Amino acid sequence: MTPATKTLSLLALGAATLATGSLATPTPASAAEGKTNRNGQVTVTGNGSYTLGNPAAPVKVTEYISYTCSHCAALHRESDPVLRTTAIPQGKVALTVSNLVRNPVDITIALLTSCGDPKTFFVRHNAFLASQDTWLPKAASASEAQRKRWAEGELPQRLRAIASDLDFYEKVEHFGVTRSQADQCLADKAQLDKVMAQYQAASQLKLTGTPGIVINGKVLYATKDGKVLQSPMGGPLQATQWKDMSAAITKALAANTAGQI
């Protein structure tokens, strides 16, 4: 694992710019909790991030992601099925997705996943991550002419070119978002400002790569034998794997049960 994210070497942002232990086995929710579909409970935060589950859950997990990050897609594949069948529906864990954009493709997807009913954000979010292996190679092998279109002109124009070249319009149509609506979202300055606010929040946490996992306000770092692992430059390595995230959530849940949080 490295602290840096494996993202596309495309363009600068520019001025616009568990399956371990207790989490693997579901436990019955209380009668009161059972009346609420926590997997369908979506809340939008002040900076435009999306929270799945009980916003008052004792354990709050935030994932700072880049949609072009292969590690983010891998973490999603491993964590999403477990969390959705255990701690989230029980109301014990809330999962927030925030953007740590690295390139214009990230910005394009961040704006498209926010395009439409907030309640179905996670449907769009899941779809882009689940299909990363189909559209990411297209982005990586883009022609010189395509890269030029992605780099020149006003930002909405550049993002529309990306959406067209990578077949994103067809993808969002499956969720009832028309091309015209998608174009409006790609030109939404207010939403772009929120995406960049999420980026700034990640910077304040000193996240050096994606995914960045934050549990109850604290960045999760990779450890070995109880010690935080260090990068060659001396800084702590972010934990980016499900095994680390799973263990940390399990520990936080146990602390809550013991009345420590």
104-152 pLDDT tens trace: 999 999 999 999 999 999 999 999 999 999 999 999 999 999 999 999 9
- Helix or strand holding residue 228 (H, E): strand 227-228
Give the pLDDT confidence of 27-49 residue by residue, as tens digits: 444 444 446 778 889 999 999 99
Report the DSSP pairing between strands 93-99 and 59-65.
parallel
Report residue 62's pLDDT band, with 50, 70 and 90 as the boundaries: very high
**φ/ψ (deg, to 5) at 210:** -125, 150
Order across the sheet with 42-44: list the strands. 42-44, 50-52, 93-99, 59-65, 212-215, 218-219
Distance CA 149, CA 185 (A): 19
**Other C-beta atoms within 10 Å of 65: how many?**
29
pTM here? 0.87
